[in-house]
């Protein structure tokens, strides 16, 4: 009879809008292996599920571990979720709907699977292993195409009964402001996301006010990435710098509202936009937030930049699975 291997390996999976990332950890959360792949917007849900399975298998091979050693999987994804059922209700970027992530992966890999919001996972990763270790209350703010938020309070992720919450991007900060993707007007996301920044920068480039950005990226929003914005600022495009600074200040307004509500000791800023211009975002968000909170809170929190970078979400998902995974299917 073959000796049964001990289940002491955890896998974190980041199902992002443009990428898939699987990280494999041992019981001490040392990284053993990884696999990164691009997502394909044109593929259907079934093909997408196949790519998730393949990516997990390839990460396990890279780590030189078998399925039988998996103690659990944490899968983090954007979009509305049913956390109790482990169901991805909708993935607007991919066109997927009602994907039974937990049920499918538990059957395929015979281990517990925990499905979690991507920003919740990234914030938890920073709390456990990154820029917010040992904090009592952590708020994560991750500006990207939208603006995601998460909150860890005394080691637990704040969430709704069945859904994730802490949608800081949909705090209304500007009465009668631009229309947001959620259908409301004046949301933080409508004035401070990378999409909002890129739209304003494209208009500036078109008017001839940002020659360096125009030369590198043109006026196509798809080409105006975080790195292109940072390079345009470094090359002397003052209008682009002002656009990004204004967005960072709006983020500070949103952070101030959250600080007044939950009094975090650490606010973590993450995502590609922050990684491209960390000092600008950290300083502007910190200064604006401190200037708008109640006096008692002004010196009670710090604003820091993510230490885990691209790995924050998958790392946090694996760690959260380690904390919460329920018993999986019994082996036959």
| Sign of the four-CA dihedral 241, 242, 244, 248 | positive
As a dihedral over the C-alpha atoms of residue 150, residue 153, residue 155, residue 158, rounded to 10 degrees, the angle is: -50
Q: How far is CA 128 from CA 59, 132, 311, in A?
A: 22, 7, 13
pLDDT at 329 over 60: no
**Mean model confidence pLDDT for the chain:** 92
Q: How far apart are CA 262 and CA 243, in angstroms?
A: 29
What is the CA angle 155-308-289, rounded to 5?
70
The predicted structure's pLDDT at residue 46: 82
Alpha carbon separation from 254 to 14, 287, 297 (Å, rounded)? 26, 12, 15
CB 150 within 8 A of CB 117: yes
Tell me which residue of 312, 274, 323 sits closest to 130, measured CA to CA. 312
- Classify residue 264 by its DSSP letter: -
Q: Name 231's Cβ contacts closer than 8 Å, sequence gap at least 6.
A: 212, 216
The pLDDT assigned to 1 comes to 38
Domains 9-122+312-324 and 132-306 share a fold: yes
pLDDT in tens, 175-199: 999 999 889 999 999 999 999 999 9
What is the pTM (predicted TM-score) of this model? 0.93
Q: Where are the domains of the chain?
A: 9-122+312-324, 132-306
Superfamily the domain 9-122+312-324 falls into: ATPase, nucleotide binding domain (3.30.420.40)
Residues 6+ apart with CB under 8 A from 34: 21, 22, 23, 24, 59, 62, 63
| 17-71 tens-digit pLDDT | 778 999 999 999 999 999 998 876 656 778 888 999 999 999 999 999 999 999 9
CATH of domain 132-306: 3.30.420.40
């Amino acid at each position: 009879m073959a000796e049964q291997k001990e289940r002491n390996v955890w896998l974190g999976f980041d199902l992002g809008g443009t990428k898939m990332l699987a990280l494999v950890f041992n019981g001490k959360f040392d990284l053993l292996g990884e696999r990164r792949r691009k997502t394909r917007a044109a593929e259907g849900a079934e093909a997408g599920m196949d790519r998730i399975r393949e990516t997990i298998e390839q990460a396990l091979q890279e780590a030189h571990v078998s399925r039988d050693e998996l103690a659990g999987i944490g899968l983090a994804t954007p979009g509305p979720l049913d956390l109790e059922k482990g169901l991805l209700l909708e993935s607007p970027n991919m066109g997927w709907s009602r994907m039974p992530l937990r049920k499918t992966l538990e059957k395929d890999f015979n281990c517990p699977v925990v499905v979690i919001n991507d920003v919740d996972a990234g914030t938890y990763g920073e709390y456990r292993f990154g820029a917010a270790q040992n904090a009592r209350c952590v708020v994560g703010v991750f500006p990207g195409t939208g603006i995601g938020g998460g909150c860890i309070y005394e080691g637990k992720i704040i969430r709704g009964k069945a859904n994730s919450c802490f949608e800081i991007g949909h705090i209304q900060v500007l009465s009668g402001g631009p229309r947001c993707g959620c259908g409301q007007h004046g949301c933080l996301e409508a004035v401070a996301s990378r999409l909002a920044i890129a739209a304003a920068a494209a208009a500036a480039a078109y008017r001839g006010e940002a020659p360096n950005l125009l030369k590198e990226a043109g006026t196509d929003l798809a080409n105006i990435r975080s790195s292109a914005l940072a390079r345009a600022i470094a090359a002397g495009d003052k209008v682009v710098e002002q656009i990004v600074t204004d967005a960072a200040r709006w983020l500070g307004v949103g952070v101030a509202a959250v600080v007044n509500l939950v009094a975090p000791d650490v606010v973590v800023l993450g995502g590609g936009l922050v990684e491209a211009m960390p000092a600008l975002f950290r300083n502007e968000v910190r200064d604006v937030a401190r200037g708008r909170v109640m006096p008692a809170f002004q010196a009670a929190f710090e604003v820091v930049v993510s230490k885990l970078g691209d790995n924050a979400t998958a790392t946090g998902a694996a760690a959260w699975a380690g904390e919460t995974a329920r018993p999986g299917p019994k082996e036959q």
